[in-house]
Amino acid sequence: DTGVSQNPRHKITKRGQNVTFRCDPISEHNRLYWYRQTLGQGPEFLTYFQNEAQLEKSRLLSDRFSAERPKGSFSTLEIQRTEQGDSAMYLCASSRDLITGELFFGEGSRLTVL
């Protein structure tokens, strides 16, 4: 098991373009989280999946953001019509057992919007 994998690791785009990030969680983990992290800040919750169901969404997740987790495996986070304020590190984390609570994080996808 190679852990949580995120692609691409870096993305530079022009304002107004769409971008999509992919997260492959640890295979037996049924819980998947997306976070956003900006410089000098801790991770901010965006959304949470249990299997294929998106159970919670933060108000940070505007209508330009959409996340999916088809078949309860990998997940994608799409940002439409990107804005400069979207520039951040997007972190994916997965968990198998909520009782133990441990999140396993990927290395993140860094987005730069020019």
Partner 1 sequence: AQTVTQSQPEMSVQEAETVTLSCTYDTSESDYYLFWYKQPPSRQMILVIRQEAYKQQNATENRFSVNFQKAAKSFSLKISDSQLGDAAMYFCASQTGNQFYFGTGTSLTVIP
The residue assigned the tokens 């000098």 is 40
How far apart CA 71 and CA 31 sit, in angstroms, is 12
Q: Which is nearer to partner 1, 6 or 82 (CB)?
A: 6
**Cα 89 to Cα 20, 60, 101, distances in angstroms:** 13, 14, 22
Query: What's the min distance (Å) between Cβ of 73 and partner 1?
Result: 19
Site string for partner 1, 84-113 (x = CB under 8 A): -------x-x----x-xxxx-xxxx-----
**Only segment of 11-19, 36-44, 67-75, 80-88 that touches partner 1 (CB under 8 A):** 36-44
Q: Which is nearer to partner 1, 12 or 55 (CB)?
A: 55
| Distance between start and end Cα atoms, the chain | 36
